[in-house]
Amino acid sequence: MTEQPIPAMLPLSPADIRGRRQWPLPKLADPNAPLLEVRDLKTHFRLGRAWVRAVDGVSFGLADGEALGIAGESACGKTTTALSMVQLLPGNGKIRGGSVELFGIDLVQKSERAMQRYRWREISMVFQGAMNALNPVIRVRDQIAEPIQYRLDQPEGAARQRAIDLLDMVGIPRKRADAYPHELSGGMRQRAMIAMALACDPAIVIGDEPTTALDVMVQAQILDLLERLRRDLGLSLILITHDLSVLAETCDRVLVMYAGRVAEEGPVRRIFTAPRHPYTRKLVGSFPNLHTDRRSLAVIQGQPPDLLTPPPGCRFAPRCDFAMPVCTEVVPPEVRFSDGVRVACHLFPTSDIATVGGSTLEGSTLGDMTQR
């Protein structure tokens, strides 16, 4: 397979994208259901007699062909959210509530055996630090061919050919397809991992920090590749990264997580140009760009809370410059604005929604406040 031309008409409609599928929708799928709807997901880790509330009531959706970025400081639950979707949690991890609906099918209710119909075939994942996760004694081509052969029930020859085509598509020349992982550069190994994630032609690919360990040139190439695959294959992406500039370039929407919950979610431009949640404001303010002097960047003082015993109310309150008495007592309800942003913060009482609208922050409670 050589590089596919980028279609002239963009974006593709959901029907176009579903029409490109090589494999039929799962039997139980509702063709009119959204691609992915995660509702009130709660994934905790057992530690002795207690639970680490790593993901504690997270909801979001993903449409056909869309790219959603997940941002947030270390340990806020990004990887755990992703691993919950494919149900590859460590032994002490458990989904204790909520649902992950794919085409209207709740994957949380599925047994491990049933999950095999969906994992890799419908949702695949490039793991954090995956570059070193390839088996060192098996040729990359054969590592990619294996899931094609066994999960899609393809003959060995055809599976190998598809593996070589996939490697070619991600920029690894055909003649290098029989290399062992150590014979490839870091960037090439990362591409091989992406090829592996694409092996079964999934509807959704989750990339957990897929470019973090790479130099900026290779990083740019990998991001271009993901963008092209998205357009050519109608792929939907969930991209997890600390690097906000990567999200700004690649994603349609951004979900900002803090301490296992959603702080804010919305169209990428709104999140970066008019962040509403004080945490998002800090996060955006703490990120360098070419025009800022690194010494003048805002620092988010303090640490995220211990998720074994998270604080009541808003989990960001102990670090928030705008915290009010209510913030330490009551979990902030989620408020939706007409510009497609939702925020969980007491600075935006539900009664403000009509007045705040989609324009600027000026009309909001936060806009009127001076930082304490």
Ligand X SMILES: Nc1ncnc2c1ncn2[C@@H]1O[C@H](COP(=O)(O)OP(=O)(O)OP(=O)(O)O)[C@@H](O)[C@H]1O
Residues interacting with Mg ion, by CB under 5 A? 79, 128
The two three-digit tokens of residue 234, written as one number = 């109608």
Q: What is the DSSP letter of 174?
A: G
223 binds ligand X (CB under 6 A): no
Per the listing, tokens 């304490």 go with 372
Q: Cα torsion for 259, 262, 264, 268, to the nearest 10°?
A: 100
- Tokens describing residue 19: 């029409």
Tokens of residue 124, six digits: 């695949």
8 A C-beta contact, residue 205 and residue 250: no
Nearer to ligand X, 80 or 149 (CB): 80
Cα–Cα nearest to 95, from 55, 37, 128: 55
The site that binds ligand X (CB under 6 A) totals a number of residues, namely 17
Closest to 75 measured CA to CA, from 249, 210, 240: 240
Q: Which does 187 bind (CB under 5 to 8 A by kind): ligand X, Mg ion, none?
A: none
Q: 234 contacts which partner out of ligand X, Mg ion, none, CB within 5 to 8 A by kind?
A: none
Nearest residue to 36 via CA among 77, 76, 68, 72: 68
Of positions 2, 32, 74, 351, contacts ligand X by CB under 6 A? 74
79 vs 365, which CB is nearer to Mg ion?
79
Reduce the DSSP state of residue 34 to 3 states and report it: coil
CA separation for the pair 284, 166 (Å, rounded): 36
Stretch that binds ligand X, among 75-83, 180-188, 223-231, 317-325 (CB under 6 A): 75-83
80 contacts ligand X (rule: CB under 6 A): yes
| By the rule CB under 6 A, 261 interacts with ligand X | no
Q: Taking the complex as a whole, how short is the minimal distance between the CB of residue 42 and ligand X, in angstroms?
A: 12
48 contributes a contact to ligand X by CB under 6 A = no
Among 36, 52, 196, 347, binds ligand X (CB under 6 A): 52
If the CB atoms of residues 226 and 320 are measured against Mg ion, the closer one turns out to be 226
Q: Please say whether the beta carbons of 106 and 99 come within 8 A.
A: yes
Q: Does 126 bind ligand X (CB under 6 A)?
A: no
Residue with tokens 């960001």: 316
Residue 364 binds ligand X (CB under 6 A): no
| Alpha-carbon distances of 136 from 142, 321, 360, rounded to whole Å | 12, 49, 53
Choice from 92, 132, 338, 360 touching ligand X (CB under 6 A): 92
Which residue, 86 or 200, has its beta carbon nearer to Mg ion?
86
Q: Which partner from the list Mg ion, ligand X, none does 80 bind, CB cut-off 5 to 8 Å by kind?
A: ligand X
Which residues from 292-321 bind ligand X, rule CB under 6 A? 307
For ligand X, the binding residues (CB under 6 A) are: 45, 47, 52, 54, 72, 74-80, 90, 92-93, 128, 307
